[in-house]
């Protein structure tokens, strides 16, 4: 049963004030998504608030069919949105659903979950806030296991773990696996090599022109892999300092003004969106020069139907939640006593998984995103049936 329960009032206004009305509208929109759309079906959504620390957060558990939900904590302000709180809830729902499919295709015994802390991490992040957040995660009793995401880092997970034992992505000094962006980038690299193999008959990226949009935690590691293989790399980022960091370390990298310029680059072989979601919208697909899209960003498809538009234009799309699963593979391994070599070996299998998805897509006559959903959905459905059979057997 889906549980939409505020830990306290969403905005602290239980009366009929404007804020309370806004919260009611937000809740209504969330309920519509949960109960009436293909993007819904979440088992549990928890709205959290701690006025003393300023914490406002959303924890979304999409599925526990395969095991405890596992997914990171995003710290983001959604300042450009008309209703930041509503945008945060919708983002958490989308991300949690994506984690269910990601974990299923990664072969992990985990369902999907995600959390969003609403605010500017540069202004609002404090140890007290993170500890309060940890208490809310702990209140779920292990149904959700958290980790790093956009705006949160290893040191933040160390703080969260003070109040919540269901925390991964911690520092090695605190028994963790460290920065999960390392294997996230490695997995994207493997997915990119699989894409090259499928499209061009050779997995090598040597000489390929590859554009990376977003060179933060994951993007910068990906650039390193691409350069090591001899690719020609172009980068862009909304933060000039991130681009400067890359070009200072790798003078051969070409900086491009913005994403609009990058996707229109003549001769671009691969486009790698590595920032926030929604990178592949109608306008982008219409002008994209690359023949392959393979990046680390979550929820790259801005809306249903974009995957077909890409296929119709002859663009091979490597499903984001497949190729960027290296990070969750890394943090999942942490729960069993982290071994980097073991986790890397699992992440290397992303190459074969991606190829299998392309083959299934060709066989079924559908875009790769649809084929990936079918494979992941099948594994989750089988787990639900097995769970139901086990419960029935126990009842008898």
Q: For residues 370 and 304, is the Cβ–Cβ distance under 8 A?
A: no
Task: Identify the H or E element spanning 73.
Answer: strand 73-76
Q: Which residues contact 65 (CB under 8 A, 6 or more apart)?
A: 100, 111, 380, 383, 384, 387
Give Cα 363 distance to the centre of its chain: 27
- Max Cα–Cα distance, the chain, nearest Å: 68
114 is known as an active-site residue:
yes
Cβ contacts of 242 within 8 Å, gap of 6 or more: 215, 216, 219, 220
Task: Output phi, psi for 204, to 5 deg.
Answer: -65, 140
Contact (CB, 8 A) for 153 and 170 = no
**CA separation, residue 372 to residues 151, 197, 360 (Å):** 28, 18, 8
Catalytic residue among 56, 102, 114, 346: 114
CB atoms within 10 A of CB 394: 7
Do residues 181 and 324 touch, judged by C-beta distance below 8 A?
no
Non-local (6+) Cβ contacts of 222 within 8 A are 185, 188, 189, 212, 272, 274, 296
Which ranges in 139-180 belong to alpha helices (H)?
154-160
Assign 388 to helix, strand or coil.
helix
Q: How many residues does the chain have?
A: 396
| Closest alpha carbon to 296 in 150, 179, 194 | 150
Active site residues: 114
């Amino acid at each position: 049963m889906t549980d939409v329960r505020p830990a306290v009032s969403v905005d602290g206004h239980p009366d009929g004030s404007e804020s309370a009305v806004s919260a009611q509208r937000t809740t209504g929109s969330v309920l519509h998504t949960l109960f009436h759309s293909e993007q819904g079906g979440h088992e549990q959504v928890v709205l959290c608030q701690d006025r003393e620390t300023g914490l406002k957060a959303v924890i979304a558990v999409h599925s526990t069919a395969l095991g405890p939900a596992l997914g990171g904590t995003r710290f983001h302000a959604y300042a450009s949105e008309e209703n930041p709180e509503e945008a945060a809830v919708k983002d958490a729902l989308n991300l949690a659903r994506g984690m269910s499919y990601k974990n299923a295709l990664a072969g992990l015994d985990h369902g999907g979950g995600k959390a969003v802390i609403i605010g500017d991490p540069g202004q609002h992040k404090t140890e007290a806030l993170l500890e309060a957040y940890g208490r809310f995660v702990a209140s779920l009793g292990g149904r959700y296991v958290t980790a790093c995401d956009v705006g949160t880092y290893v040191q933040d997970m160390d703080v969260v773990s003070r109040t919540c034992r269901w925390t991964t992505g911690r520092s090695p000094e605190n028994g963790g696996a460290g920065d999960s962006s390392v294997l996230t980038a490695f997995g994207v690299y493997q997915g990119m090599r699989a894409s090259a193999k499928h499209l061009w008959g050779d997995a090598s990226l040597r000489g390929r022109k590859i554009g990376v949009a977003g060179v933060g935690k994951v993007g910068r590691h990906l650039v390193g892999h691409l350069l090591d293989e001899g690719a020609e790399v172009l980068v862009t980022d909304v933060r000039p300092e991130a681009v400067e960091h890359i070009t200072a370390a790798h003078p051969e990298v070409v900086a491009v003004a913005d994403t609009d310029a990058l996707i229109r680059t003549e001769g671009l072989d691969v486009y790698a969106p590595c920032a926030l979601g929604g990178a592949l919208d109608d306008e982008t697909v219409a002008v994209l020069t690359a023949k392959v899209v393979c990046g680390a960003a979550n929820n790259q498809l801005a809306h249903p139907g974009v995957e077909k538009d890409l296929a119709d234009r002859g663009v091979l799309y490597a499903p984001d939640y497949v190729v960027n699963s290296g990070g969750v593979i890394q943090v999942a391994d942490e729960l069993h006593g982290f071994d980097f070599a073991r986790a890397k070996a699992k992440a290397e299998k992303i190459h074969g998984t991606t190829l299998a998805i392309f083959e299934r897509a060709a066989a079924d006559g559908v875009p790769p995103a649809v084929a990936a959903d079918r494979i992941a959905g099948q594994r989750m459905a089988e787990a639900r049936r097995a769970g139901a059979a086990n419960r029935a057997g126990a009842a008898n």
